[in-house]
Amino acid sequence: DQQVKQNSPSLSVQEGRISILNCDYTNSMFDYFLWYKKYPAEGPTFLISISSIKDKNEDGRFTVFLNKSAKHLSLHIVPSQPGDSAVYFCAASGAGNMLTFGGGTRLMVKP
């Protein structure tokens, strides 16, 4: 059973608009959450993270929101740019720092 799920395999957004990528998890022991970005033929690279003691973390155009009661996190990108087109993975970790990944969401930002 997948403990981290990204239910939307793809998302298409117009340039300049907001992109919202969602992620749900089931394990209440997760206390640290990360978003990775992956371009074709490359490995995922770290984008932004959030600790479970926070509900929001912002870094430039990227903001991650955490709703612990709903076991839900989201990544907001605003404004979206064509260079943001990639696959985005959310990941969660708990004790032991092992990462559990979602299946990824492919974001396409149209010029």
Q: Which residues bind other proteins (CB under 8 A)?
A: 2, 9-10, 36, 38, 40, 42-46, 87, 89, 96-101, 103-106
- How crowded is residue 28: how many other Cβ atoms within 10 Å of its Cβ? 10
Shortest Å distance, C-beta 57 to other proteins: 17
By beta-carbon proximity to other proteins, the closer residue of 34 and 66 is: 34
Shortest Å distance, C-beta 77 to other proteins: 18
What single string gives the DSSP state of each residue in 48-96?
EEEETT-SEEEETTEEEEEETTTTEEEEEESS--GGG-EEEEEEEE-TT
Shortest Å distance, C-beta 88 to other proteins: 10
By beta-carbon proximity to other proteins, the closer residue of 79 and 106 is: 106
By beta-carbon proximity to other proteins, the closer residue of 73 and 91 is: 91
Instruction: Provide the residue count of the chain.
Output: 111
- Distance (Å) of CA 21 to CA 86, 93, 95, 96: 12, 19, 25, 26
